[in-house]
Copies of this chain bind each other. A is one copy, B any other.
């Protein structure tokens, strides 16, 4: 039997690059070398990442972009709907948003990795609760914390510094 919580695909018409271009043009902003490099780096992989991790990836790819520019660009990418932000401890973690379905997360407290799953029932619950409280819901976050399969199997290879 298939994983009943697997993510379903979402079709999109524009590439992230095209979408970002449109976003920039619509606000009189410019496509710079740095923004291009950051955009490429962000969409060259699918893992969750934070500003500092992204900065390192950019460095290692041999490009020179300052940290402030990374932060500024991340805000723009979020603003234009390409990225989605999540606060984990004192760190902001990003994931692809454009072309990705809404989903929720399992968070491993040992290796600090995030796993994604999709569950329609959550939306149902959200609506039911919102109705009860006359709340105008426009989103939710469901994070299950615990220890992932790998880490449970004795292998303790910590992945990043403490995130929580």
Contact (A117, B133) CB under 8 Å given A87-B89, A90-B90, A122-B125: yes
| Residues of B close to A109: CB separation below 8 A | 138
Nearest CB of chain B from residue A93's CB, rounded to whole Å? 12
How many residues of A are counted as interface, with CB atoms below 8 angstroms from the partner's CB atoms?
A: 39
Cross-chain contact of A139 among B88, B134, B145 (Cβ < 8 A): B145
Contact B139 A146 (CB under 8 A): yes
Contact A121 B119 (CB under 8 A): no
Nearest CB of chain B from residue A1's CB, rounded to whole Å? 10
Cβ contacts A130-162/B at 8 Å (1 or 0 each): 101111111111111111110010000000000
Residue A24 is within 8 A (CB to CB) of chain B in the complex: no
User: How many copies of this kind of chain does the complex include?
Assistant: 2
| Residues of B close to A142: CB separation below 8 A | 122, 140-142
| Residues of B close to A115: CB separation below 8 A | 133, 135
Q: How far is the CA of A112 from the CA of B147 in the complex (A)?
A: 31
Cross-chain contact of A117 among B129, B138, B147 (Cβ < 8 A): B129
Residue A36 is within 8 A (CB to CB) of chain B in the complex: no
- 8 more A-B contacts (CB under 8 A) besides A5-B128, A133-B149, A139-B146? A90-B90, A106-B129, A106-B130, A115-B133, A129-B144, A135-B144, A137-B145, A141-B141
- 10 A-B pairs closest in CB distance: A134-B149, A137-B146, A136-B147, A140-B144, A142-B142, A139-B145, A138-B146, A136-B146, A141-B143, A137-B144
